[in-house]
Each structure stands twice: as structure tokens, then as C-alpha cells.
Structure 1
């Protein structure tokens, strides 16, 4: 909702990009359980994860629990709650500056935690 496209870079950093077709912003979302997903940066080959301090980063090991997100739909927007940190309500978020928002600074309903799915190719 902040106008940024989420990108996972090979150096394990996660941040927003304004480039709609940035190679690092091509993400694969796959189901791993009922209402649970993993997000993988296709080019970087890393999974979106949240550290114990709430920082977003790219994780090479898909089996780590901090790579699983609870996906919910709120109106037209998707929210991603960290499964590992769900008990304290930490969401995936991107600030207005494009930097990842730390989990402890997020809460349901903030613009920073609302995401729109995007199509891999232009429609029309």
C-alpha cells in the first residue's frame, strides 16, 4: 500500500523497489499449509524471513520456521503475519522509505503491512 514492490536481494537484504520489473522483485508465493505460505525471491533463491529482532532478511534454508507466513485477506489487500512471531503480532511491512519495517513496529491495519498481488506480466 506504500507503493513499493518487495524485493529479496542476493546479499540477503529485503527492501522495496519502485521498479515494477526489477529482477529481485519477482517473487514466488507457495502454500506450505492451510493459510500458510513461503515467499521466495526467484532470482536470489532466498526465502523471506524475519529475525528474532523483527528484521526482514533473505534465508537460504526453506526449512527454518521463520520463513513461514500466515496469509490473510483484508478487503483487496493481503497481510502476512510471521508464523514464528504470531503470538506477538509481527507482520511483514515496508515503510514509506522502502526499507523493511521491523516486526515490533507493525500492527494489523497499517498501510505498511497491506500488499496487493501482482501479475507476472502486464495485462492488456
Structure 2
């Protein structure tokens, strides 16, 4: 008889832990979130490793994430700030990170796109495949509540409402549009994830080489400084 309440309690705790999400201002790596089985690391059942793509908008611009936090579009085919890493953080939900800027695409509660230095809840976007073959990316946490017209499915006194989603959008001038002004059928909200070309792969290789060289140079400098401090320590004489 004692075992039954214990099993119920353990099942409830497991359900709660599996629904944990990042707090509104909490920074976390999307690939370090726990999956449905409670395991840390990548979402193995969603493919795990990030996809490297260039998001080509139907307005003929590539989405860019700059190091200074700016979001815009580029007509250039070989722009390094257009190379993205798209990582699944939940079923149908992704995080989009600029590979060269190291920043995440995000949308705030005013509908403005910005580049965040750390991953947070505003960096989560619902990815959907449009009927024309393009993808749309809607903010997971920000949208507009719109009341249904009278007789639109609510029989009570309280009128029902629907959520109008806010989409990532680049207009015909290469500028981002505010989320509440977008629709899923707008050309500015439709993106084609393009695989990287040979020049893109070459830029990625050079980036990795430069990062590796910087890492090794930093460690060599640290070792030299430690040896210098050790020699100075041995050269000192204790006070008489």
C-alpha cells in the first residue's frame, strides 16, 4: 500500500522535470537543454547537431546577424554573416545562431529582431514548412491576441480569441519588419534554407583555423607568464 503513493509521486516529479524551460532572463545553451528522456546534451531524437544554412528570403535577401547586434538582409552571395547554425531545441522549435557573429537571432516583446549574445527564451522560433516550399520562423513566446468575431465559436459571455503569430521578416529593402506587422503568407516572411556552397565552406574553414590559432597563442602566452612569475618567485630572498 505504501508503494503506490510513492510511485505516483515519482511519476509526477518526472513529469514536472521534463517540462522545465529557460526562465525569461536565463541564459542557456540550446544544445545543453535536457531532452524528453531527461538526458543532458543534444536533442538526440531531433537530429542533435546544428544545421549550417543560409536563410534566403523570398524578397531576395539573405538574413544576416552582425557582431554588433544588428539584423538585416544582404544581396551578396558570399557574405560570412549570412551563415547560420540552426539547432532544434524542442519539437518544431529552433534556435538560429550566426556562425561568424556568435550571436543568436531573437525577437523582443515589441516585435523587434535583435542579435543576443546569449541564448534566452526570445531566441526560440517555431519553424514551419510553407506550402510553397519556403519556411517560416515565428516567435515562440510573443504574439498578438485577436478576439474572434461574434458567433466565431464561443457560446459563453466571454469572447474567444486567437493568437496571431509574429514572424521573422526581411522587407524589400533588406530591413527587418516588426513582428506584429507580419503574416505567414508575406513574401518577407518566407525563407529558403540553402545549403552552403564551396566558398561558404572555405570561409568556415578559415574561421576555424583562426580560432584554433588564437586558442593556441593564448595558451602559449599563459605558459610564458606562469614561467616568468615562477622565476621571479625563486629570485626573491626572504627578509632577514
Deviation, 1:108, is 1.6
Is residue 79 of structure 2 the alignment partner of residue 22 of structure 1? yes
Q: Distance in 2 between matches of 1:103 and 1:11?
A: 21
Paired with 1:81 and 1:98, the residues of 2 have a C-alpha distance of 18
Deviations 1:43-100 (A, max 9, x none): 00000001211111100111x1000000000121000010011444100000101001
Q: CA deviation at 1:104?
A: 1.0
Q: 2:112 aligns with which of 42, 55, 72?
A: 55
Is 1:105–2:181 an aligned residue pair? Answer: yes
- TM-score (norm: length of structure 2): 0.49
Residue aligned with 1:32, SS: strand
Cα RMSD (Å): 1.0
Q: Which runs of 5+ in 2 are unaligned?
A: 1-57, 144-162, 199-240
Structure with greater proportional helix content: 2
Q: Structure 1 runs of 4+ off > 3 angstroms?
A: none
In the TM superposition, residue 37 of structure 1 has moved relative to its aligned partner by 0.2
Residue 121 of structure 1, CA deviation: 1.1
Output the CA distance in 1 between the equivalents of 2:112 and 2:177. Answer: 7
Give me the whole-angstrom Cα distance separating, in 1, the residues matched to 2:164 and 2:184.
12
Matched, 1:94 2:150: no
* Larger Rg computed on CA atoms: 2
1:1-124 equivalence runs, <5 A: 1-62=58-119, 64-75=120-131, 76-86=133-143, 87-121=163-197
Residue by residue over 1:4-55, the C-alpha shift from the partner in whole angstroms, topping out at 9 and shown as x without a partner, is 0000000101000001110100111110110000000000000000121111
TM-score if structure 1 supplies the norm length? Answer: 0.94
**Contact 2:108/2:142 (8 A) holds in 1:** no
Matched residue pairs, number? Answer: 121
Unaligned runs of 5+ in 1: none
